Amino acid sequence: MNATFVISAIIAVVATAMMITRPSAVHGLLYLTVSLLAVALVFFVLGAPFAAALEVIIYAGAIMVLFVFVIMMLNIGEAAARLESSWLHPATWVGPSILALLLAIELGAVAVSGGLPHPATSVISAHAVGVALVGPYMLAVELASFLLLAGLVAAFHLGRSIMGTD
């Protein structure tokens, strides 16, 4: 097996386990970000660079920003501000930083070596993914968009009731 794949998979599993076991949402969010980056590297090693790029841009980027906004929205008051300042201790960042550093070293080693020795299969283009999404998987894409819209409306109403503007 490819060592890059194995190490990335182990980091993904460890980061996910750490995310589940953290009592603080912010700590779990840090480990979830590392886990998503490790999964993106697994996709890249398996020969799916487009899926890896989507994983980084959509999940590790946009969804993590959304989670941070939700955490900020739900932490209201002076007690929450004191709690947030306690989360910023450097010890909080040690675990995710070590796992992210391992991923960066791994990605650097792959880049320096000139890529993967044996790509898994042929690379699927973005055009082929787009054609599949508007072709046979159109119903699934539309259902997912309705589910995301329902979550957005629910978050809006939850935020309004918490802020007391109802």
Return the pLDDT at 76.
60
Q: Rounded to whole angstroms, how far apart are CA atoms 142 and 19?
A: 30
Q: Going by C-beta distance under 8 Å and a sequence separation of 6 or more, which residues neighbour residue 105? A: none
Q: Rounded to whole angstroms, how far apart are CA atoms 146 and 140?
A: 10
For the chain, what percent of residues have pLDDT higher than 90?
Answer: 7
Q: Rounded to whole angstroms, how far apart are CA atoms 21 and 36?
A: 17
Cβ(93)–Cβ(30) below 8 Å: yes
Q: Rounded to whole angstroms, how far apart are CA atoms 96 and 44?
A: 21
Q: Rounded to whole angstroms, how far apart are CA atoms 18 and 75?
A: 22
Q: Rounded to whole angstroms, how far apart are CA atoms 120 and 94?
A: 34
* Span 37-90, pLDDT tens digits: 899 988 888 877 878 888 888 887 887 787 777 777 766 667 766 766 766 677
Look-up of token digits 């699927």: 124
Q: Which residue has the higher pLDDT, 56 or 125?
A: 56
Q: Going by C-beta distance under 8 Å and a sequence separation of 6 or more, which residues neighbour residue 26? A: 71, 84, 87, 92
Q: Which residue has the higher pLDDT, 163 or 26?
A: 26
The length of the chain is 166
For 72, which DSSP code?
H
CA dihedral 39, 3, 109, 115 (to 10 degrees): -80
Q: Going by C-beta distance under 8 Å and a sequence separation of 6 or more, which residues neighbour residue 15? A: 31, 32, 34, 35, 38, 96, 99
